[in-house]
Structure 1
Amino acid sequence: MPQFAANLTMLFTEEPFIDRFEAAAKAGFKAVEFLFPYAHTAQQVRNAALEAGVQIVLHNLPAGDWDAGERGIACLPDRVNEFREGVARAIEYATALGVTQVNCLAGKAPAGADPAVLRAALVGNLRYAAGQLGAHGIRLLIEPINTFDIPGFYLHGTAQALALMDEVGSDNLFLQYDIYHMQRMEGELAATMQKHLPRIAHIQLADNPGRNEPGTGEINYAFLFQHLDRIGYTGHIGCEYKPKTTTTAGLGWLAGL
């Protein structure tokens, strides 16, 4: 049976962020993930997790001005210094929180930008981050995201991500495979995850259409969960979906496994 992690950015949003750890534990989750911890002190987040008895398995590098619509800065050549500062900040938090995997959002390609320049910036930033994080025992992940939800997102396919990883050439760079995003962009979910399993360090889910909980759309999650067991995936699966009504009401899929 897969290990599920509640994404606290998407789930239990009826509660203040710090209270979501306890809400996740009460719902039966033993692990959590979220986009960013940086609005709170590392000690506040650590205490909330410890008191709830849940493990934090993932958070992201700082990703620019999220409220202004930025979705990462790693591909932006004029933001390299800011990116490196973010790596240091992520290491500080991940170390304090016991997090061993950090995800990097590549960002949106500016209109008219030279793709080669963006790729060079991203490759350089990933090499730097992989080295810095690796020195602290933390894995670096990259995540392709669909361009329907985030138009212009630079990294949007599995093959593109793997080629980028090859170019970076680090043994500390892995794929975060989001089933929802890749269903929208390319399909072939089961075969892709099986083929590239050694390079996948984390999986996330939501159903499509709607990005709601499993069972509300077209993806056969009962099959995929069994498939992941068969092929030997041992990591966590982050539940990064928008509950169709409330988080608690939408957990029937989990209780039915």
Structure 2
Amino acid sequence: MTTRLPFGLSAHLGYLFLELPLRDRIRAARSVGFDAVEHPHPFAIPASEMMRFLTDNGLYFAQMAGGVGDPSKGEKGLAALPGRERDFVASFERSVDYAEAIGCSLIHPMAGIPPSSASPESVAETYHANIDAALAMLTNRPLGLLIEPISHAAVPGYYMHGLAQAIALSRRFPDGQILLMLDTFHACANQDDVGAFVASNVDRIGHVHIADHPGRHEPGSGDFAFEAFVAQLKQSGYSGLLGFEYTPRDTTAPGLHWVPAWRKHADRADFHPR
């Protein structure tokens, strides 16, 4: 069973503070009240240096990706790509080593966009085999596997795109082996009932991503009812971080007006893990 971090706020450094170099984003996140940071592929900073930055700023590293592929070629993951199994394993192993070195407890094996030439059966078989391989790599290590459904509204053709699909995958394994990342934007884009999902599946949720809908901007910029959502998380006993993965409408700082209200939620003693 994965060890989860106390309830708190995490800054996704692949989206926030992009006006700054990656190293400076870590300091900026701490200065405005975040408890943790996350990034899918933080390898530009050596693990030893990253650990020092985290320690100096009193931050956790919440989650990172594995098996991402080559973003410069438009790759959004390798886990569901037939013929790329060796690439996936090599990339995921690199992420596992890095994550363990910096105290990051969750790794997300990105599914990617399968080629149109691949049959649905071969894609599913490849994906399940790669998830098995990823879990094997985590044996006896303080790391957990995190699956995120990414909507086709954001990444057309992405294999792992829906909450029902992710739940079905998690049920193939013993409880706690696979945790889910619930993203408010992707769920809304898929027209999912987020409150009902939390109520029924809170024990399977390992991380939450926050972005408003429509627009995928700051909380309060769209129509999503965040107060009701946070209340449902609290009532259901969610015991993880809230990661803010949104596209700022301007640079990051002018859009952080939401932080004080959310910090009050994070600082309430009754909202810490059960």
So what's the TM-score if we normalise by structure 2?
Answer: 0.90
Structure 2 SS opposite 1:93: helix
**Aligned partners of 2:38, 2:247: CA distance in 1, in Å?**
14
- For residues 60-84 of structure 1, what are the alpha-carbon distances to aligned partners after superposition, in whole Å with 9 as ceiling and x for unaligned? 1130011211000001121111111
The residue correspondences of 1:1-257 to structure 2 (distance < 5 A) are 2-167=7-172, 171-257=176-262
Change (3 A) 1:171 1:224: closer
- For residues 169-199 of structure 1, what are the alpha-carbon distances to aligned partners after superposition, in whole Å with 9 as ceiling and x for unaligned? 6742111111111110132011111111111
Change (3 A) 1:123 1:168: farther
**Aligned partners of 1:171, 1:198: CA distance in 2, in Å?**
8
**Aligned partners of 2:205, 2:135: CA distance in 1, in Å?**
15
> 2:150·2:186 contact (CA, 8 Å) conserved in 1?
yes
Unaligned runs of 5+ in 1: none
Show structure 1 runs of 4+ deviating over 6 A.
none
Unaligned runs of 5+ in 2: 1-5, 263-274
Q: Which letter does structure 2 place at the counterpart of 1:166? A: R
Question: How many residues get paired?
Answer: 257
1:240 deviation in Å? 0.3
Structure 2 SS opposite 1:32: strand
**Aligned partners of 1:82, 1:20: CA distance in 2, in Å?**
30
So what's the TM-score if we normalise by structure 1?
Answer: 0.95
- For residues 100-141 of structure 1, what are the alpha-carbon distances to aligned partners after superposition, in whole Å with 9 as ceiling and x for unaligned? 111111111211320110011110110111121132120001
**Aligned partners of 1:159, 1:169: CA distance in 2, in Å?**
17
Q: Which letter does structure 2 place at the counterpart of 1:70? A: E
Q: Percent identity?
A: 34
Q: Which letter does structure 1 place at the counterpart of 2:73? A: A
| RMSD (Å) for aligned C-alpha atoms | 1.6
1:52 deviation in Å? 1.6
**Aligned partners of 2:63, 2:81: CA distance in 1, in Å?**
23
1:58 deviation in Å? 0.8
1:235 deviation in Å? 0.2
> 2:92·2:109 contact (CA, 8 Å) conserved in 1?
no
**Aligned partners of 2:127, 2:31: CA distance in 1, in Å?**
40
